[in-house]
Chains A and B, each alone.
Chain A
């Protein structure tokens, strides 16, 4: 996949040295020397942070995530990690959050020794943030800054990298780290902070004839909660302020102190429609930490499952776009094709939404033979149906006239706000992790590039339809040629405490990234999941102004963002 203009880790280091005026120390990702050009960790001071980020950004790098962590917390605030784990478990038992029953046993002594080992292993470790940037055709750069506990500030990155705006607000909410100079530090995650902050205020436009339209968080349909404050004149939207995180469940905190096996179903269930993506990024992060090589069958099967997930999502989302303009024909016909795909999922894995299959080391369950037999033909037949429905939709003037020119996302804006997935590809950005940083079986296949430059709802519609066809072709190819052999290897022993792995995967909504820090004794110290929807929500809010109020449902459905994995 290497392109002619590859940027090496060495080039990045030289760039940073030039920007900061001194040589920087760089550590690679663990012991795998082969991946030295894939990922690098650079420690910088608070004062150097902005300059370092600017230097990396100027290579054309994209913001991946900003993660904050507080490693002092176990010792200094809420007691040992054993106590935290026990508390989390009782919460799980009370809330029925789906923790495995095995987790409840043997919490005490084992976890306690883990906590002791953890605090012993990292003397002086404390509050820190990491800005992760992906250099195109180059490494992923993790810039880590230690934050002194008595002065929890650092210069905000949002003016330099607008895509980091929500990450910084979240870090501010959850870790009390203040990004000085951030243009909008209203609470994002914690709606009712303790101690109470100033009351939340929606941003609105003022002027004669401007009215406000508050929508949600409870909607007329059975959908996820989000509050949208429109400022409108007549039917034209002047400004949209979206407030999410009504479904914040604290999943990241919940998995801290748990074993890798215990956390898997939690991460997988961050939302219900990108389960393969989230299980895969988690599994790959664990595999990196434990230096596990998954067997060929699992490599290929993960691609198959990821494409099944993309296909049913894309087909359903095309149908939902019809619902956005009230075009019942498309909604019902495509809804039925999605249902057929869900049934294939069930035959293949025993679960309509593909849960409980992907796991660290490969696949927890091998694919069902009865599901694999004839899968390629069935998917091809469904794809044929979808294609003919889409052809009818494209021929419908009443439908297409609603899509053209609606909700235009320009390339510049997509780049500025870090749009991902279909939204980015429909606006002229070729970003696709399957091509850019292929992992698992994607390294063995060629995924064709699909895109459009117009950036409107119609472009997102066409990109989705074409990607669905590509997914179907990949599934057809893989279903007939899955390598034989085991689908799972047991990961070798626990990773070194404090080591970090970062994994990304291209899901139906774009790239989801997971940052995972190992604690002692094969437990999780800190986990951060940044889903594609998280990146695209601010993009959606910036696209809507200038459009008509009743076109919002259509624009919203053309992005098809998820609330649950944004809120976590």
Chain B
């Protein structure tokens, strides 16, 4: 089963990369952007076939390694 995770920076954390991307897009003519925030995307292919158990394990992975909860939020996307 494949489970996806999106990690984003928390609202109050400065994202200089997002800012530069925003400025660059702006310079390219995409001038109606309010803000760009850069994040991370993971695809985890697990042997676990039980949906609920798999999600719980991925959540544990997020807390222990994939995200740093001081600055990041994680969102687990429901497996299809």
Q: Do they bind each other?
A: no
Listed in ascending order, the chain A residues whose CB lies under 8 Å from chain B are none
Q: What is the interface of chain B, defined by CB distance below 8 A to chain A? A: none
